[in-house]
Chains A and B, each alone.
Chain A
Amino acid sequence: DTAVSQTPKYLVTQMGNDKSIKCEQNLGHDTMYWYKQDSKKFLKIMFSYNNKELIINETVPNRFSPKSPDKAHLNLHINSLELGDSAVYFCASSRNRDLGTEAFFGQGTRLTVV
């Protein structure tokens, strides 16, 4: 019973391709996130959704487009992949936007652009 699951776990693709990563949570949480962790292990927030509504969009290139069909799913589509997009992408969820809520993370998707 994986609480936050994302697929695929590994993704190797060529520059210029378009790819998607899917995320689902079965915790009943209202809020979901996408984080990018680079080679230096810095975990940086990209997007945050609350009940399917986009609430945070950090300075991410518009090649990245999140979609939340319902509050249990948050997918990430990336157009025209670049070498610099190589990283581990983590999906996470939290109960709500109360300041005390912790984030639960998926297992990560290691994206390698060649």
Chain B
Amino acid sequence: QKEVEQNSGPLSVPEGAIASLNCTYSDRGSQSFFWYRQYSGKSPELIMFIYSNGDKEDGRFTAQLNKASQYVSLLIRDSQPSDSATYLCAVNRNTGGFKTIFGAGTRLFVKA
């Protein structure tokens, strides 16, 4: 089992729709969770982070965390073609040494 799992996609949504990206993690000792966006040929950049169970909203983005289910998600409201990218879920943990573990990413296409 991979430490951080994401559906590789591609996930295709029409412009204006809600895009829902999901991620599960295996280490219960994980304590902080991040969503990075990576455009093709570019480096990852942070969109959201969340530490506590529940929802966290920032503009069109909402991160959701459920530690009991070891599940974290990212919702993108009013999706735009410029949101088309690969979204990487990342987890910080301190088991066996501090490290950030990334999922393989979900490719999102927003159709105009």
Partners in one complex: yes
Q: Closest Cβ of chain A: how far from B93's Cβ, in Å?
A: 7
Summed over the interface, the residue pairs from A and B with CB atoms below 8 Å come to a total of 62
Classify the interface of chain B: helix, strand, loop or mixed.
Answer: strand
Give A82 to B105 CA distance when docked, in angstroms. Answer: 26
Q: Contact between B102 and A43 (Cβ–Cβ < 8 Å)?
A: yes
Q: Which of B15-23, B38-46, B73-81 binds A?
A: B38-46
Q: Contact between B104 and A45 (Cβ–Cβ < 8 Å)?
A: no
Q: Contact between A44 and B92 (Cβ–Cβ < 8 Å)?
A: no
Chain A residue nearest to B101 (CB atoms) is A45
Q: Contact between A56 and B44 (Cβ–Cβ < 8 Å)?
A: no
* Interface membership of B65, Cβ < 8 A: no
Give A44 to B103 CA distance when docked, in angstroms. Answer: 9
Chain A interface residues toward B at CB < 8 A? 31, 33, 35, 40-45, 48, 50, 55-56, 90, 94, 97, 99-108
